[in-house]
A and B are shown apart, each in its own frame.
Chain A
Amino acid sequence: MKSLADAALLAALAMGSALGASALLQASWPRRSPAAAILLWQALGLATGLAAVGTLVSLALPGGHIGVVRSLLHLGVFFPGAAFRFPAAFGLVSVLPTVLAAFRLTCLVTGLALLGSLCWVLIAASAAVLQARRRQRVLLALLAHGDPKVPGALVVDYPTAAAYCLPGLRSRIVVLSVGTLELLGRAELAAVLAHERAHLRERHDLVLLPFTALRRAFPRSAMCGEVHRAVALLVEMLADDRALRGRPTRELVSALVRFGMAGTCPTPAGALAAGQGDMAARVARLLQPVRPLPAAASAAVCLSAGLLVAATVALLIV
């Protein structure tokens, strides 16, 4: 019976996490403490995925006194002799009706397929990102040059304003277009560099990767799109906060505003709508600074994120 209880608990966790994610989308506190909110997003994502897989798999397993992961190993699916134990476990030779056996088999296959596709989506997205970055590095080596106005950054002869970073283990590059150099003054450029270097230093790209992967995997899911956008905005706000250290707010804000209004590049349909309102949100947040969450509240958020993941993993293993 334990596996049925597990299934119920895991299903509750998956549903709860998904509901929590919807609530977090609506909440206004995340922009007060982006780092804590990002941690909670990661926990919610991980818990939803693991619990959904766990629910399906535990429904498929025979009642026992051990957790899903160990039952699965016990089942012998991955071990020699599976052919002998497998039918027994699924009740094909016992009194269980065939319908129940079919149901269990379906759950098992669906659960494992879900787990496999989640892993695959993450791997595919990582590969795509790595490939795009490799191509960027090759092209930059042929095209980019330095500029004394932006020490340490690479400059590309392109008239439209563009600034981004290329994270990596061995080389971390900030790239600016000539259009950016013409658009912004020295102080504003320094603010942009500080913002991009915060992305590089704290590897915000890795934070974003799983959410990008989900958006790629479910391009029609409004939820995945909204979650990705929310996390991407939080990551930008975090880098904005870092860029403000030892620097007047004015420089970053005017860099953001000039940048936002300078865009003249042709945009395929849908590309702009993706982040509509985000720039205004960042600027508003800088102009009327919100107080960060109190330390206790921030700690509570981090603690709940940790507990959520711990509870899910515990249910799967114990």
Chain B
Amino acid sequence: MARITGTLTTVNRLGDLERAIMEVLWETDTPLTVREVSVRLTERNLAHTTVMTVLDRLAKKGFAKRQRDGRAWRYCPAATRETYVTELMLTALDQTGDRTAALTRFAQSVSGVEADVLRDALEVIEGNGGGDEESG
């Protein structure tokens, strides 16, 4: 996600906008029109069409749902932020049940005897290592 200073590429700019607009949708309980979204976006002076384009993209990607309200569209999130976070993490923790193992993770949680072994190990480490860099 490192952003190159100076020239923002179009992709990055659209990505940032998608994110900012999703934040707005997640923070609001009712479906919003394009104009209402524009107003809620902080420190941005964006063209109406730009916001409309991004909302349209979000709807196509399945992150936003839209419904007719007279002559305008109203947008709301397709799912809560927490739902997406959970989806992200379940895949990461290999708990989707499909055994794809798309990602390798640092460590897995343990239980029973193995947890006792780890607890002993922690005591050993903290016993003879000193606490100079301990934190958390």
Contacts and interface: CB of A to CB of B under 8 A. Distances in A.
Interface of A: 125, 128-129, 132-133, 135-136, 138-144, 146, 152, 154, 156-158, 160-166, 173, 175, 177, 182-188, 192, 195-196, 199, 204-205, 208, 212, 215-216, 219, 232, 235-236, 248, 250-251, 253-265, 267-268, 271-272, 275-280, 282-284, 287
Contact of A272 (B19, B61, B108): B108
23 contacts: A132-B100, A133-B102, A142-B22, A143-B88, A158-B85, A160-B89, A160-B93, A164-B105, A187-B135, A204-B104, A205-B103, A255-B106, A259-B109, A263-B110, A264-B109, A265-B89, A265-B93, A272-B110, A277-B114, A279-B108, A280-B118, A284-B117, A287-B124
Interface of B: 1-2, 15, 18-19, 22, 61, 63, 81, 84-89, 91-95, 97-111, 114-115, 117-119, 121-122, 124-126, 129, 133-136
Given A162-B93, A265-B95, 9 more contacts: A128-B102, A146-B1, A158-B89, A177-B89, A215-B99, A257-B119, A272-B111, A282-B107, A287-B124
B101 A287 contact: no
Nearest to A269: B97
A268 B95 contact: yes
A284 B118 CA distance: 9
Contacts of B63: 142
B89 A162 contact: yes
B133 A251 contact: yes
Given A160-B89, A257-B122, A278 B108 contact: yes
B86 to A, nearest CB: 8
A164 B114 contact: no
Given A260-B115, A272-B109, A254 B93 contact: no
B84 A143 contact: yes
A118 B90 CA distance: 28
Contacts of B117: 280, 283-284
B108 A263 contact: yes
B109 A260 contact: yes
B106 A192 contact: yes
A128 B103 CA distance: 11
Given A156-B89, A162-B89, A276-B114, A141 B15 contact: yes
Contact of B103 (A164, A184, A185): A164
Contacts of B15: 141
B104 A216 contact: no
Given A142-B84, A253-B125, A136 B92 contact: yes
Contacts of A141: 1, 15, 18-19
A182 B136 contact: yes
B135 A138 contact: no
A152 B2 CA distance: 8
Contacts of B1: 140-141, 144, 146, 154, 173
B125 A267 contact: no
Contacts of A253: 121-122, 125
Nearest to B111: A272
Contacts of A128: 98, 100, 102
What are the 7 A-B residue pairs with the smallest beta carbon separation, nearest first? A263-B109, A185-B135, A132-B102, A163-B106, A164-B105, A259-B107, A185-B136
B100 A129 contact: yes
A128 B94 CA distance: 13
A250 B125 contact: yes
Given A265-B109, A268-B97, A279-B110, A257 B121 contact: yes
Among A160, A204, A279, chain B packs the most CB atoms within 10 A around the CB of A279
B85 A157 contact: yes
A140 B22 CA distance: 13
A157 B122 CA distance: 27
Contacts of B86: 158
